[in-house]
Amino acid sequence: MARKPQEINIAVIAAKAKVSPSTVSRVINCRAGIGEHTRKRVTELLREHGFKPNYPAVKTTKVAVVYPWMALTDYFRKAMEGVYAYAMDKQLMINTIIAHENRRETLLEALREQQCSGVIAMLPEHYMEELDEVASTELPVISLDYSTANARIGAIDNDSYAGSCLGAQHLIDLGHRKIAYITYDKMSLNQIQRFKGYQDTLAKNHIEFDENLVVRMKKADAALVDSPEYFPVPWEDAGGDLFRKMRGWGGCIAMKLMLRRQTEFTAVMTTDDCMALGAMSVLHENGIRIPEDISVVGFDNYAETVFWTPPLTTINHSIETAGYMAIKSMHEAIKKPEEWIPPREVLSTSLVIRKSTSLRK
pLDDT of residue 60: 78
Residue 237 has pLDDT above 50, yes or no: no
Residue 291 has pLDDT above 80, yes or no: yes
Peptide bond into 342 cis (omega under 30): no
Contact at 8 Å (CB) between 43 and 27? yes
Residue 267, phi-psi category: left (phi > 0), alpha (psi -120 to 50), beta (remainder): beta
- Grouping H, G, I as helix, E, B as strand and the rest as coil, residue 152 is coil
The domains of the chain, with CATH numbers, are: 10-48 (no CATH), 61-158+319-348 (3.40.50.2300), 160-317 (3.40.50.2300)
- State the chain's mean pLDDT as an integer: 86
Element (H, E) at 63: strand 61-67
pLDDT of residue 71: 78
Residue-wise pLDDT tens digits, 83-117: 999 999 898 999 999 998 888 889 998 998 888 99
Residue-wise pLDDT tens digits, 293-336: 999 999 999 999 999 999 999 999 999 999 999 999 999 999 99
CA distance to 29, 49, 215, 314, per residue, from 57 (Å): 5, 17, 53, 46
Residue 79 has pLDDT above 50, yes or no: yes
C-alpha span between 311 and 120 (Å, rounded)? 32
Burial 15-29 (b: 16+ CB within 10 A, else e): eebebeeebbbbbbe
Within 8 A by CB and 6+ apart from 169, the residues are 201, 205
pLDDT of residue 330: 97
This model's pTM is above 0.85: no
Mean of pLDDT values over 143-149: 93
CA 300 to mean position of chain CA atoms: 12
Residue 151 has pLDDT above 60, yes or no: yes
Tell me which residue of 104, 185, 167 sits closest to 315, measured CA to CA: 167
pLDDT of residue 217: 87
Residue 27 has pLDDT above 90, yes or no: no
